[in-house]
Structure 1
Amino acid sequence: MVSPSASKPIESGDRFVLFVHASTDEWVWASAVAIAAELRRDLALRPRSRLLLSGGTTPAPVYQALAKAPLDWPRVDVALVDERWLLPDDPDSNARLVRTHLLHHHAAAARFEAMTQSGRRIEEAVAIANAHAQQPTAVAVLGMGDDGHTASLFPGMADLDRVLASRQSYAAVDATGCPGARNWHRRISLTPAGLAAAHARVLLIQGASKRRVFEQALADGDVKRWPVLAALGGGEVPPLQVHWCA
């Protein structure tokens, strides 16, 4: 356990706030506290709160810590930032990761929305995700790949222009040819419109290489080359909260 003073931002502005943590343990604790604080704030304002989570190995320990937070979890709807076109019990699905690492302890009482379902076409899955997205989102938890992707928005993706311009919160994407997508090319992803609708966005990254990627993205400014830039704040959109440790 670390003191709250260890989590003061070292860089901030209208587009992002960077928190640097001295250790992995501190990073896990502070990230979970930040997410819980956003949920607690939202639960004080409305009957239910919506939490969007990303997959990948990086956020798993944060989800495990968040599961122990004493929140009013029966009033929390947990959904996904993106999903591979896999059944929800597939070991490589984001749904399986969230169930394994978050939905226990206090968080077992939350309501979970898996995007995919046996017999459901991808067009149906996107329509249902967009219907659920009509509810206000308290916080979206994001990751970032070495290629600068976030959610399932990959640089060089064939239909990236369409997805970036979409007014819907979710879209089906084809990431064929994108190394960051690995073997899972067919996906559903939150769009920039969906990201902007979240009251708070929290980016969880670790390691010197990820920080360099984020800094390169900021310096370049091209969202097509660095889709993570779609998560930045500005205007009426609150700053992106970035939590990093070496």
Structure 2
Amino acid sequence: MDLSDRYTLVRHGDADGWIEAIAAEMAQILNHDITTYGRARMLLSGGTTPAPVYQALAELEVQWDRVEVSLVDERWLSPQDRDSNARLVRESFLSRAEGAHFDPLVRVGKPLPECVYTANLQAQHSQAPCLGVLGMGNDGHTASLFPGSKDLARALESTLPYAALDATGCPGANQWPLRITLTPHGLRQCRQRLLLLRGKQKLEVLKQALESNNAQLYPILNAINIEGAKLRIHWCD
């Protein structure tokens, strides 16, 4: 299957240009929804790759008190834990974007199933996300959809926005196998999706994924082959 009509690959000459262009695009998407609906909602990924983009975004002209933020996925950790996606988003973005509202996926003191239930309830009663920001691991995972996970098929087939996933034995999950992750159904609800990639290795993994056309082996394909707007891939070395 030729998926070239399902994504746009934008190559940037340097890291500064990559950061600036992505932040500007995100601000434009948010401002469109604020103008159209009065509010905007976006879903962010963790990791070191997008952090400078979030910092740059927070400096742009957006009515942050009209923006709701949640996560694409989260490790089963306290939102205060230094390795949580919530903490990265809080430190790189929320601390600078004064007034933005944040909905974490992990609720302190609540068991994992209840946190997933609450995340789905929140998603179903919130404004549809205008934007989902994704990353990709060297194993081809996106969000916390890890190849080889015993829960992967269930998550891919879910009709809910979020699912719990146990990635025990998956190298890409490192020491945090328990996750809450956006499902393809949840991805589909994001009107625009951006994939942020750095380095030649990530570009090679993406090429392998496209050639394989195997969404279980390369879950990143689930962000490409769903209906809706094309996935916009921003890459620089």
1:79–1:234: structure 2 CA closer, same or farther, 3 Å change rule? closer
Aligned identity (percent) is 50
Deviation at 1:234, TM superposition (A): 5.3
1:111–1:59: structure 2 CA closer, same or farther, 3 Å change rule? same
- SS of the residue corresponding to residue 136 of structure 2 reads coil
Counterpart of 1:221 in structure 2: which amino acid?
N
Q: Tell me if structure 1 keeps the 8 A contact 2:9–2:235.
A: yes
Deviation at 1:22, TM superposition (A): 0.2
2:33 aligned residue: 42
1:4 aligned residue: none
**1:200-227: CA deviations, max 9, x gaps?**
0000000000001011111111100000
**What is the correspondence of 1:1-246 to structure 2 with a 5 Å cutoff?**
13-105=4-96, 107-134=97-124, 135=126, 136-233=128-225, 235=227, 237-246=228-237
- SS of the residue corresponding to residue 59 of structure 2 reads coil
* Farther off after superposition, 128-137 or 167-176: 128-137
Unaligned stretches of 5+ residues in structure 1 = 1-11
Give the TM-score, by structure 2 length. 0.95
1:242–1:173: structure 2 CA closer, same or farther, 3 Å change rule? same
Counterpart of 2:186 in structure 1: which amino acid?
G
Separation of aligned partners in 1, 2:121 and 2:28: 26
* Farther off after superposition, 153-162 or 125-134: 125-134
Q: Tell me if structure 1 keeps the 8 A contact 2:188–2:226.
A: no
Q: Tell me if structure 2 keeps the 8 A contact 1:102–1:108.
A: no
Counterpart of 1:145 in structure 2: which amino acid?
G
Unaligned stretches of 5+ residues in structure 2 = none
* Farther off after superposition, 13-22 or 88-97: 13-22
Separation of aligned partners in 1, 2:5 and 2:33: 21
1:125–1:234: structure 2 CA closer, same or farther, 3 Å change rule? closer
- SS of the residue corresponding to residue 243 of structure 1 reads strand
Separation of aligned partners in 1, 2:166 and 2:230: 29
Aligned-pair Cα RMSD in Å = 1.2
Counterpart of 2:101 in structure 1: which amino acid?
R
Q: How many residues end up aligned between the 2 structures?
A: 233
Deviating above 2 A after TM superposition, structure 1's stretches of 4 or more consecutive aligned residues are none
Q: Tell me if structure 1 keeps the 8 A contact 2:192–2:231.
A: yes
Separation of aligned partners in 1, 2:88 and 2:21: 21
* Farther off after superposition, 43-52 or 155-164: 43-52
